[in-house]
Amino acid sequence: MINLFTHHAVLGALSQPQANMIDRPGLSYGLFHLHAQPIKLYGTLTTRVEFQGLNMDIGHLRSIRWSKANDPQAWVAYNRMRGQQASALEHATPEQFWIDRTQCRYPDENGHVINPNLTDCPQAVSAVKALALAARQGQKVFTITSKNAATVLPQLSVSRSVAAEIRNAVATGKEVTVHEKPINAYGFSGTGYILVDPETGAGAYLIESLYEN
């Protein structure tokens, strides 16, 4: 978890000179925990517990930022970019610490397959990764606002809870990015979506698994 916050701060230090921004980390916290599923007999007696994977939930990631040129639009764009970086770290950090790449197959930065005779390396899923995977699978990726919500919402095949959250977000002026139906990848089945305040660029980067209790 500390590694995620450290990487996010380093990315901020590298990004702010190019964007002409001031970017200082604020008080942040999150959870990184094992996801275990009890296996029950007759619905009551737990016979064993199966390890389902890892969950990372960054509840609050705060920063103090402003444009050195006093440009509000540049500040909004920068906040959006840093939010996407933070979301990407939610899949990159578990992969870095929990996957032994000497024991599995993966493509390097040049697209060459390393360890071609082994099985694929496990991968984590974040909101931005889920959206990218959906687009790669040929899904439509929608940006929903109050102007197009009535047209787009009927086209979505998402859970009732995600649909309700999207409707509530749009009703309060938020901008929502979501893919049209759940993805199935790397043992994950569910939806990735982003809720952004267009006036600040700050947002929530979320995933919902279809298999969560």
Inter-CA distances, 139 with 4, 74, 135, 180, 189, Å: 30, 30, 5, 6, 15
Q: Where in the sequence is the domain holding 184, given as residue range(s)?
A: 125-213
Residues 116 and 29 in one domain: yes
User: What is the reported pLDDT for 212?
Assistant: 47
User: Are 80 and 138 within one domain?
Assistant: no
Render pLDDT for 143-181 as a digit per residue (tens, 0 to 9): 999 999 999 999 999 999 999 999 999 999 999 999 999
Q: Which of 123, 155, 172 is the last residue of a domain?
A: 123
Domain boundary among 98, 123, 148: 123
Tokens read off for 131: 């959206």
What distance in Å separates the CA atoms of residue 127 and residue 189, rounded to the nearest whole number?
13
pTM, 2 dp:
0.85
Distance, CA of 152 to CA of 90 (rounded, Å) = 28
Q: Is 201 left (phi over 0), alpha (psi -120 to 50) or beta?
A: left
Give the number of domains in the chain: 2
- For 30-76, how does the pLDDT look when each residue is reduced to its tens digit (9 = 90+)? 887 777 778 887 777 677 787 767 778 888 899 999 999 999 999 99
Residues 151 and 164 in one domain: yes
If asked whether residues 62 and 141 sit together in one domain, one would say no
The pLDDT-based confidence of 132 (bands split at 50, 70, 90) is very high
C-alpha closest to that of 133 among 78, 179, 98, 167: 179
Task: Specify whether 118 is located in the same domain as 35.
Answer: yes
